[in-house]
A = this chain, B = another copy of it.
Amino acid sequence: MPRVLPFKQVDVFTSTPFKGNPVAVTNCMDIDESEVTTEQLLAIASWTNLSETTFLFKPTEPGCDYKLRIFTPASELPFAGHPTVGSCKAFIEFTGCTKKQIVQQCGVGNIDLNVDSDGKISFKAGPTAVESVDPALLKKYEATLDVQCIEEPKLLKVGPNWLVMLVDNSETVLNIKPKLAEMAALDAANGHTGIIVGGLKKGCTTNDEYEIRALAPNEGVPEDPVCGSGTLSFIRYLNELNKYKEPKYLHISQGSVIGRDGHLYCKVDVQSGDKVDYYVGGYATSILNGTITL
């Protein structure tokens, strides 16, 4: 007999339906994880054709609200940003959970999530590494965008390895016509996921609104509509440059060049003793609601 499970496809990091980044979420919390195989989950993820497809299971660790397994069409991921926000939204709707702090068990460990009173969902990022890059290589990367960076770019290792570049303002960011083939070759040769290029919103006087673009042609994603790990890399880089002295809220816009309207609301949570936590979040809306027949 075919198995029928609750299913949602959630639009993440937008308030405008169909303008965010979709994730397909199957609710497996009423079955045992052993009842489905990894091959089966991967076949579903390949079929939905979305950048990520997730499955909610009963948690196996104390203190967790659910266990999440995340798949691209090609493989399983230990963690990913927009699928985490979208899957948490689906979990809340599937279960009626009203908690403001939710813990997600997944491949990288346990992820803390905050649910704001207005529905925004944020996750606390894990530790990340910041590395310098050979200046000759940076010149080649700048040439693929035909821009000049206003600060030294850095390589951010947040799971994916993003080369983060800052330019003068959002208009420059939006006008970039990337040379994707050259970029893909550089990424392939250097083990980079792709480029995050960002700039301060034109006219913003509070230094807290930025426009970014995530380009990853070597991953088969010429431009990611709204990218959680790229946004994390970008705010982490901003703190590297600005050394914020107190908690800083940042609003990152993304996707308008490819017809999306993504918005990420982030917090660089500067605490005493040099401790800094990074939160990335936004709104999410369930667009498809129903069942999936396995």
Contacts and interface: CB of A to CB of B under 8 A. Distances in A.
Interface residues on A, range: 20 to 34
Interface in A246-294: 259, 285-294
Number of copies of this chain that the complex holds: 2
A188 B283 CA distance: 41
A173 B253 CA distance: 46
Contacts of A19: 43
Contacts of A11: 47
Nearest to A43: B18
A148 interface: no
A55 to B, nearest CB: 14
A259 to B, nearest CB: 6
Given A43-B18, A47-B18, A290 B293 contact: no
Contacts of A196: none
28 contacts: A2-B17, A7-B288, A9-B288, A17-B293, A17-B294, A18-B43, A18-B44, A18-B46, A19-B43, A22-B47, A22-B48, A43-B259, A46-B259, A49-B49, A49-B50, A49-B51, A285-B293, A286-B293, A287-B293, A288-B288, A288-B290, A288-B291, A288-B293, A289-B290, A289-B291, A289-B293, A290-B290, A290-B291
